[in-house]
Structure 1
């Protein structure tokens, strides 16, 4: 499938449009799309990131939304299945002209700025106080809310449980976007000088991320060197996920970075540096995931210092903010959006991989898999399963209307199995899967879970699927997270007494 992305970045526009479009580009490339990117990117390092992701980058000097831009976009749209537009310069006539080429149109926006959007799909990932009133064609689709927040792939591979909050937060992350046109980073550093002296048990360590388009780097470094606490100034950071894992608290512009912080579970203090950030800041504050200090032009260094002084020694508050952030964003938005786009003309699946119902001849194969040492280690019951017991158990379930067992094959060779068993009250189906030892690490587990969940819901006529995973089994937990399951918490299994994590999936959860 051929997809054209049209978005720009510079010191005035900021980098947010390109960064979130890049997250979606990664997901589309993983789904088999051929991605071409048309735009203007300042700094030039952004173009290198686009190419490194696997997209074809075509630089343009045209004014966003202007006649030259439209002509160039139309010439590429005519050869594309999808055109993705992310930027405030694209008006209603621009959208209509692109759609007339026959390409499907996908638009990312942050508030209803047009009276009508002639598009196939529109995404607004913000937490609005009420549903925004977008007008789209009858066949058009709206994807609303942070369930579709476009985060880079590493954020979708989060562990199901966050680390406990330290008694006194010491690691502070400061990130004000790629360009920071209002110089808020300097205000934050000034605020640090107003903090009370930290306790010896928790000396403050501050990491300041300066975007590649920030013109005040020299000033920031000069101020940082005069602070008494440990301050690092980091330029053009590639692995923000690792920095967020390190942070106990973040002070951030209220842009797309907030969704990443929420996903990781970092309590945050937000400052609005552009009008389009207002719904992000207000929405996250409303659900209790952040402290919103408001417009950068109204915020004083003492306001920042006061907010930090209240948050740093309060682990209960920080833990609650982290939990609420993770409840809002699970990091799988880009995957969901890519799935929506890919369903329109999905490329043919590999003929080598197939799923079939289990049959009587699979009894010994599944018994061998079940008794594999590593499988028993992450099972609720650790003892090996006797053959006779398994044979009788398998025969009963193979013919039970409450059970579905499917076998995954690659080139005719079985590589894994999955079983769904409806509970006696009919309220859910319990899932169990395993992959042959020599086939692990190839994505077969995730493929099994993803490919059978809708079929299991319908054939067993249940409202939800439940998976219970031993607390220490991080690999399986992450399979369910990536497959769109919702983590419900940790509980004790009544039959074995083991601590386990509960995941659920309901119809429609993946979208």
Structure 2
């Protein structure tokens, strides 16, 4: 089975779309599929990372839009500018690539693409799977995947896809690596450590100001040990964060390949309201979440209303004083967190990737 993924990462987009596609690709490849990626060379792309994982990757040039193209892009979808070109141009370039692959599946994970793009590619692949979170545009696809947990998650796409589309909706279809389902069954012995471990990660693209505010607050709260994963940062900014650390209770890294283990070893987390929400839920890791982008507001609001997380609000309003105040009052042994742990683990069992892969192979 040949599977082509169309997804991008950038400073603006973040890394989540590519990372969850890689998770699905790993499972499909494990079952014998041949996977390919098509990505645009935006600043902050993960093309080298994808290639190093062994996947053949086709690149689309990042170009500056002309005035007419820019007007056309901006007048279409809310996230159109994330594509770096028009849907028409992108579709033509992708068609040139996949004509030699003849994919059984075309997997699309991009907020700037909709049914227009998909209709252009449909004659040239057997099936299309769309991964979405926003439910803000129509799709022409055989399978629609949205792993989010929202009040109306079972009905969000009823008017956006055809009746023939298979809809895979909710946290039971969360794209997680196999390690999460394996490690969640281990017997955790570290709930009552003298110095609890807190994991800090606000996404694959680092936010220097937010990280600075957090480290400043952590300096004043040595009752915890902090493992801070910054994401992609300019070297000078990473160095400045290192210099800001006061004490040996804070460790700083820009990347880890051991996120499941780090989550398992931690007693609390601070993070973005992105795809890592479901990783934390799978392992029962209670968390305080930050709204890193406006499109995360509905999810973080609903999770807070359902008493599944602590919300720290939008990143623009999160000062070091506010973070320090939260840390000084944080009691990870509070019974409320014990109750939450059971609730979030029941939502995400870690088998979603296998469920999606099985659907694709059955097609």
Aligned to 1:18: 18
Q: Match for 1:205 among 200, 217, 225? A: 225
* Mapping 1:221-300, distance limit 5 Å: 221-224=242-245, 227-228=246-247, 230-300=249-319
Between Structure 1 and Structure 2, whose CA radius of gyration is higher? 1
TM-score by structure 2 length? 0.85
1:213 is displaced (CA, Å) by: 4.6
* Mapping 1:484-499, distance limit 5 Å: none
Aligned to 2:337: 318
Q: Match for 2:167 among 137, 142, 151? A: 142
The alpha-carbon distance between structure 1 residues 99 and 242, as it changes in their structure 2 partners (threshold 3 A), is: same
Aligned to 1:331: 350
1:231 is displaced (CA, Å) by: 1.0
1:9 is displaced (CA, Å) by: 0.8
* Mapping 1:82-481, distance limit 5 Å: 82-114=105-137, 116-131=138-153, 132-134=155-157, 135-160=160-185, 163=188, 165-166=191-192, 170-181=196-207, 183-195=209-221, 198=223, 204-213=224-233, 216-224=237-245, 227-228=246-247, 230-344=249-363
Are 1:76 and 2:97 matched, yes or no? yes
| Deviation sequence 1:62-97 (CA, Å, 0-9, x none) | 536543321121233441111111111113311211
1:183 is displaced (CA, Å) by: 3.0
> Structure 1: where are the runs of 5+ without partners?
199-203, 345-511
Q: Matched residue of 2:250: which SS?
A: strand
1:12 is displaced (CA, Å) by: 1.2
Partner Cα distance (1:117, 1:42) in 2: 24
Contact 2:183 2:260 in 1 (8 A): no
Q: How many residues align?
A: 335
Contact 1:26 1:53 in 2 (8 A): no
The structure showing larger relative contact order (alpha-carbon pairs under 8 Å, at least 6 residues apart) is 2
1:58 is displaced (CA, Å) by: 1.4
TM-score by structure 1 length? 0.61
| Deviation sequence 1:191-221 (CA, Å, 0-9, x none) | 22343x63xxxxx211110213567322221
Partner Cα distance (2:163, 2:231) in 1: 41
Alignment RMSD, CA only? 2.3
Partner Cα distance (1:126, 1:42) in 2: 26
Contact 1:181 1:214 in 2 (8 A): no
The alpha-carbon distance between structure 1 residues 178 and 313, as it changes in their structure 2 partners (threshold 3 A), is: closer
1:168 is displaced (CA, Å) by: 6.0
1:173 is displaced (CA, Å) by: 1.0
Runs of 4+ in 1 over 4 A off after TM superposition: 41-45
Partner Cα distance (1:313, 1:72) in 2: 51
Q: Matched residue of 1:312: which SS?
A: coil
| Deviation sequence 1:140-199 (CA, Å, 0-9, x none) | 01111111111122113234355252166621111011113473212211222343x63x
Q: Matched residue of 2:343: which SS?
A: helix
The alpha-carbon distance between structure 1 residues 117 and 7, as it changes in their structure 2 partners (threshold 3 A), is: same
The alpha-carbon distance between structure 1 residues 2 and 74, as it changes in their structure 2 partners (threshold 3 A), is: same
Contact 1:51 1:57 in 2 (8 A): yes
